Chain A
Amino acid sequence: MTRPGDDGPVAILRDVRILVEPGTLTDVVGPSGAGKTTLLLALARLLPGVTGRIELGGVPASSMDPRMWRSAVAYLPQRSALVPGSVADNLLLPWRFKVHGGLTPPDAGRLREALDGVRLSDVALERPAERLSEGQSARVALLRTLLAGPEVLLLDEPDAALDDESAEQVGRLTRDFVDAGGGVVRVRHLRADVHADRRLHLEHGALSEMER
């Protein structure tokens, strides 16, 4: 995989092959600058000028509209970027886009249930997003992505800056998604989760399997 550089293409990931099976959680660990975020952005088709081949269920990325791809292969950045507006505005954000046109957005009852499920019972749907703590924002951002129904979830250090309760809730939501048949690639800076189905190590642009 290469990216355009000042003096021609620069190799960022070398001969990386990663297969994400439905119902599996893959952790990718590695030091800072190893290319972990780059790998996720490339898989989500959010990195310009990338070469290589990606498929979803046997369908090449190149034959899919990028917006359709991103709604199916959802990337969640390390720092949850909630948009200005209320919690409900944020949870319903995907349905403002054409790619979700024709799909019925969840009603207020479903949104309330989703928030209660991650111990955000005290957070009103009308609360402005800027008044959420970092841990609450992370949970709302993950809920938003999951409510839109992706097939694969790409998580960038989802619990790196969270308090214990938020980290636990994010981990549980991720596991529920996997148990329901979703595929997850999660990058972590320090160590892989012992509960991950597969653990890979990324360094100098190369992926290797880690011993359990």
Chain B
Amino acid sequence: MTASAIATSAAAAARVGGVVPIGWPQLLLASMFVVVTGALALWMQLGVTKQLAIAAARTYVQLLLLGLVLVWVIRFNQWWAVVGILVIMIVAAANVILRRAPDAPGGLFLTSVVSMAVTGLTVTFAVTGLVIGANPWYDALTVIPIAGMVIGNSMTGVALSLERVFADMDSRAGEIRTMTALGATAWEAAHPSVRTALRAGLIPTINSMAAAGLVFIPGMMTGQILAHADPLLAAKYQIVVMLMVAAAEIMGAVLAVLLSYRRRFDREGIFLEKGMRP
């Protein structure tokens, strides 16, 4: 038996259910990438070393905790536990959205929660129920990973669109006041900003769809191939995921922007200057 055949056979023996297991030593080894990057950032005085360290620590803690929770939820497989996880995901996503959109007015938490909930639940259950055919409908092993991708990606689109719509309205304040003085409704005056914001939120997704498979192998497909799934099946899954992510981003961004743009206007459709905003 040759050396390479022995190595292949050892790797195959180490696989668990087709997946090469990663132990604590390998995790620590992976941390070296962050240590090297952090040292480089420190040397270049980028001022991001602390954030990088915190982000890396959070990645460890959050993902390991999520893993432990998922082990329990998947084993337990009760509808209320799955719905509970979805609610936590939606609320956490709404919080992230508000942090990423500093120009957005206060009081948008409920809007973010509604946008994420409508989008996340509709797209997730449409995919798990109609495309994958999950049984039972709340099957944790199917619903939670799909919901994670839907909510996570939708969150990015919503945050980008919300940030842009308010920043764009502020930059068009003079134009909006002119339109209002000529009899425009809040929607008519805000419409160019809404269009700009939704385009900004959706273009990354469209670009990503266009480049998938040519420039990069998307994350889910990579994961499945690493887990030794059939690449064609992985490609089919990835197509479903990319289309559902695009739908979720579009729905989420449209809903969030439509529910929130009017906060820059008062009841009579007057554009509110910075000092007059509630």
Contacts and interface: CB of A to CB of B under 8 A. Distances in A.
A84 B171 CA distance: 13
A68 interface: yes
B179 interface: yes
B178 A67 contact: no
B247 interface: no
Contacts of B183: 67-68, 70-71, 94, 97, 99-100, 148
Interface string A67-89: 11011001111010111100000
A81 B177 contact: yes
Chain A interface mostly? mixed
Given A67-B185, A70-B183, A71-B183, A83 B177 contact: no
A93 B183 CA distance: 10
Contact of A97 (B184, B272, B276): B184
Interface stretch (A26-34, A40-48, A105-113, A175-183): A40-48
Contacts of B185: 67, 97-99
B49 interface: no
A145 interface: yes
A66 interface: yes
Interface residues of A, number: 32
Contact of A47 (B175, B269, B270): B270
- Central interface residue in A46, A48, A75, A84, by most chain B CB within 10 Å: A48
Interface string A13-50: 00000000000000000000000000000001111110
- Central interface residue in A79, A83, A98, by most chain B CB within 10 Å: A83
Interface string B177-200: 111111111001000000000000
A93 B270 contact: no
B268 A75 contact: no
A195 interface: no
Given A83-B178, A97-B188, 9 more contacts: A46-B180, A49-B276, A71-B182, A79-B174, A82-B178, A83-B175, A84-B175, A94-B182, A94-B183
Interface of A: 4, 44-49, 66-68, 70-71, 74-77, 79, 81-84, 93-94, 96-100, 141, 144-145, 148
User: Which 10 pairs between the two chains have the least Cβ-Cβ distance?
Assistant: A71-B183, A99-B183, A81-B178, A81-B174, A66-B268, A48-B266, A67-B183, A97-B184, A75-B181, A94-B182
